[in-house]
Amino acid sequence: MEIQPLDFASGGVFEWRWPSGNVESFDQSWTGRVAIGGTGFAFRHGIGQRDVYGRVRVHSVTWLSGAPMIEGVEADDYQTSRALLSLLRRDDKRLARTIADIPTHYEEFLIVNHRDEISAPRSRRSLAVKICEDSVAAWATHAALRAAQLQRLPRF
């Protein structure tokens, strides 16, 4: 499967209403397109903040064609790395816990142990990708891989 991040531009500030009714604000975002197997999909990556793992942390959401695909949360070393963690899932949707659980096509990503990167209550015992918050092409690729893995490629 070929994934190709295409054009990206600043998307500015915006809000997203989750199905629960909660509204989340994003201080900055990028919009653009990503091609998956030759088909183009609208892309948005937003960065805001959310109270998670015991304190307010930088939080991101990445959408394909308006559907949220992945989330990221500030690692403990964020002040120096500017990196967020996004949990990896197996094909059966359970969290990836071992190297054998890592989905295909993640060879170019930095894979870390979530609990080693976030020392807090409820930190997950699983693997995650660690991506700089504004590495837009990496977030687009990760979102496309998750959508393909879940066989939930959104349609235009």
Question: Domain limits of the chain?
Answer: 3-149
Residue range 57-91, pLDDT digits in tens: 999 999 998 899 999 999 999 999 999 999 999 98
Determine how β-strand 23-36 pairs with β-strand 3-10. antiparallel
Q: In sequence order, what are the residues at sequence separation of 6 or more whose Cβ sits closer than 8 angstroms to the Cβ of residue 53?
A: 73, 118, 120, 121, 122, 123
Low-confidence ranges of the chain (pLDDT < 70): 1, 152-156
Instruction: Give percent of the chain with pLDDT exceeding 90.
Output: 68
pTM: 0.91
Identify the pLDDT of residue 121: 85
Identify the pLDDT of residue 131: 98
Q: What share of the chain is helix, strand, coil (3-state, %, to 5)?
A: 15, 45, 35
Residue that is written with structure tokens 């120096």 in the block: 80
Identify the pLDDT of residue 62: 96
Identify the pLDDT of residue 59: 97
Q: Residue 59 in contact with residue 50, Cβ under 8 Å?
A: yes
